Structure 1
Amino acid sequence: MPQLSIIVPTYCEAENLKNLIPRISQVLKDSDIVAEIIVVDDNSPDETIAVCQTLAESFPIQLITRKQERGLSTAVIAGIDAAAGEFLLVMDADLSHPPEAIPDLYAALQNQGVDFVIGSRYVNGGSTEENWGWFRKLNSRIATWLARPFTNAKDPMAGFFAISRHHFLKVREILNPVGYKIGLELLVKCRCRNVVEVPIHFADRTLGTSKLSFKEQLSYLRHLKRLAEFKYQNYAYFVQFAIIGLTGVFVNLAALSILLHWLIRPVAIAVAIWISMSTNFLLNRNITFSYARHAPILKQYLTYCGSCLTGAVFNWLTAETLCRSFAYFEQNTLLAAFIGILTGMAFNFILCRYLVFAKQNTVRDEG
């Protein structure tokens, strides 16, 4: 029975595997670690299958070929599902992660109380290839900065990490990563508190091509949205709701400035309000409450209009009550109106969250 399972997701990495697997095997032998190597391939059109079959004659390697699904994160999950080890280690196949660091990550994970171990570029002793371009460095730093609300780890974007099976199984059923950052997904959903970062030298690939693309960067933003909703729940939904509400102000004013050229003022104001309310509905349906975007749209829209009317009523009641009840607010009507806006927004949000876009148990979050 292996102590450690090493999961290597691949797509068109046949040439790199020829170098990687022997290096991993030698490190395991030198460190007296009993481990299995699981290669999860997304049906690469290169020679990955043939290379793995050849390598399996000499090394403890298992190949899983996925023909119906794609993506690094889900490939990692598939590999872990098939793993037999109590400790799980994930690394890339492109030789950017040094196999020689495996014993250090494994040893750190075995320490009592450690939840997660990262092969880190950004702690003391860690480094990246000197010829790494400024754009890649900037991209990495921005992505790391965007992950700050979720973890204090210095390199949370790393694809070289280790976790115990115990921690993984606790969250297996709620994992829904999108894109490449399965490590960040596990860090957040496992609620890892004691994270150890082992310094590594991150090398640039010499064979094959990078899988990073603009599409993957957009996927990362979608992933952050999901993680924010998981960790901060209604706070995250409300921030999105408020931002979209703010955009509605600009839509309203832009529409009004155009409509005044063709319509009388009362009609133009009414139509501008309707346009901004409708755009807010569409944005909230597809962004803030994206889990509900497959529900019947007409019913949602009519209910949304009702919630907006309710929010407007509470807005008016709050401002009017403050002005009538307190001399201070009677002299500061704008402040009373502002509090009324916040009150109306809060009621509108509650109605949207739990009525208009109510989450059904049978609908999986696809935000």
Structure 2
Amino acid sequence: MLQLSIIIPAYCEAENLKVLIPRVNQALTAASLDAEIIVVDDNSPDETIPVCEALSASYPLRLITRKHERGLSSAVLAGMDAAVGEFLLVMDADLSHPPEKIGELVSALHQRPTDFVIGSRYIEGGSTAQSRGWYRKWKSRVATWLSRPFTSARDPLAGFFALRRQSYQKARGILNPIGYKIGLELLVKCRCQNVVEIPVDFTDRVTGTSKFSLKEQLRFLKHLKRLFDFKYQNYAYFTQFALIGLTGVFVNLQMLALLSHWIISPLAVALAIWTSMSTNFLLNRNITFSYAKHQPVLKQYLSYCGSCLTGAVCNWLTTMVLSQTFPFFEQRILLAAFIGILVGMGFNFLLCRYLVFSRHKPEVEIAATKKELGHID
């Protein structure tokens, strides 16, 4: 078995690859590493294919050209699926990651119990390009901060990292990244606990343009939401459910204030409740329990209304029992009502989680995800 497989996702990186591949090969020779280099190209319209074909005559380079898929994360997964090395190392094609650090990353991965190694910009000895403006640096720091619930690594969003192929294969069936931050996906879903960071000097790309657009930044937030659900499961779902419930309070009050000018009070109250319940349903269907949003909407909506009614009854019963049974709560009706709200919300959440928005079988869910993304990561 080869020691190492290096996966390089690429799109319109022909000029950079001419420089990168010889540097990678030189680093491998210096570190005495037996390795393969896998370039995964998304059918670039530039000279990537002929450039790689020419380079493969002199270097251990293998080109995978994808004609029907797009995206950095899925390209990395395609490269890892094709890899045969004991260790898998990922780096960008734009010359932002120093190939000279490959030996250090692999050496660190050899030391048990290390199971994930990052070429880090944010530890002592690492740096980012001085030419980067404050806004780009600020965005990078914010994105890193948003990743804190998943790992204590200082630079978990780095695109220069390595892990064991065995770790990857164990998690392959549950990987479904969105966007560019495949390293964080692997770090979380491969359940890597022993992370080592090697300082690197990150530089801006030499040629070509950055592909991290506003659209990709929004997809990054969606990716974080998926990882949040995966790592914290019901805690994550309940947090989102409760926050959406809070937005429903504001919708209710705003609608009541608006309708009370034209409609009699009882009807205005009913319409305000119905409006907030409907907006909560839509938000929960598309955010909290998005895995179930491909199920029939009318059936879900009617079931959701029933769960809300059940929660309201539990709320009322709890409040009444506490206030009429225990002298302590008889004098503290607001406290009894607050506990009733919590009980009602708990029942409502359980009904939503396991009945209204019940999870499909894995194969159905995977098919729905592919349909949602259009086979694009």
TM-score, normalization: structure 1?
0.99
Instruction: Give the match for residue 112 of structure 1.
Output: 112
Determine the C-alpha separation between the residues in 1 that align with 2:236 and 2:30.
48
Instruction: Give the match for residue 197 of structure 1.
Output: 197
Instruction: Give the match for residue 56 of structure 1.
Output: 56
Instruction: Give the match for residue 245 of structure 1.
Output: 245
Q: CA deviation at 1:217?
A: 0.6
The correspondence of residues 75-154 of structure 1 with structure 2, limited to 5 A, is 75-154=75-154
Q: Which runs of 4+ in 1 moved over 6 A?
A: none
Other structure's SS at 1:202 match: coil
Instruction: Give the match for residue 276 of structure 1.
Output: 276
The correspondence of residues 214-293 of structure 1 with structure 2, limited to 5 A, is 214-293=214-293
Letter in 1 for 2:190: C
Q: CA deviation at 1:327?
A: 1.6
Letter in 2 for 1:279: T
Q: CA deviation at 1:332?
A: 1.3
Deviations 1:150-202 (A, max 9, x none): 00000000000000011001100100000111110111111111100000000
Letter in 2 for 1:45: P
Select the residue among 362, 365, 368 that pairs with 1:363: 365
Letter in 2 for 1:305: C
Q: CA RMSD in A?
A: 1.0
Other structure's SS at 2:97 match: coil
Determine the C-alpha separation between the residues in 1 that align with 2:302 and 2:146.
36
Letter in 2 for 1:78: A
Instruction: Give the match for residue 4 of structure 1.
Output: 4
Determine the C-alpha separation between the residues in 2 that align with 1:44 and 1:333.
68
Instruction: Give the match for residue 343 of structure 2.
Output: 343
Letter in 2 for 1:363: E
Q: CA deviation at 1:2?
A: 2.4
Instruction: Give the match for residue 300 of structure 1.
Output: 300
Other structure's SS at 1:201 match: coil
Letter in 2 for 1:132: R
Letter in 1 for 2:365: V
Instruction: Give the match for residue 161 of structure 1.
Output: 161
Determine the C-alpha separation between the residues in 1 that align with 2:152 and 2:30.
33
Determine the C-alpha separation between the residues in 2 that align with 1:363 and 1:203.
40
Instruction: Give the match for residue 188 of structure 1.
Output: 188
Instruction: Give the match for residue 170 of structure 1.
Output: 170
Q: CA deviation at 1:139?
A: 0.5
Letter in 2 for 1:170: K
Instruction: Give the match for residue 26 of structure 1.
Output: 26
Determine the C-alpha separation between the residues in 2 that align with 1:12 and 1:331.
72
Determine the C-alpha separation between the residues in 1 that align with 2:137 and 2:291.
34
Q: CA deviation at 1:149?
A: 0.4
Gaps of 5+ in 2: 373-377
Q: Give the total of aligned pairs.
A: 367
Letter in 1 for 2:67: K
Determine the C-alpha separation between the residues in 1 that align with 2:226 and 2:240.
12
The correspondence of residues 310-329 of structure 1 with structure 2, limited to 5 A, is 310-329=310-329
Q: CA deviation at 1:334?
A: 1.0
Determine the C-alpha separation between the residues in 1 that align with 2:243 and 2:302.
22
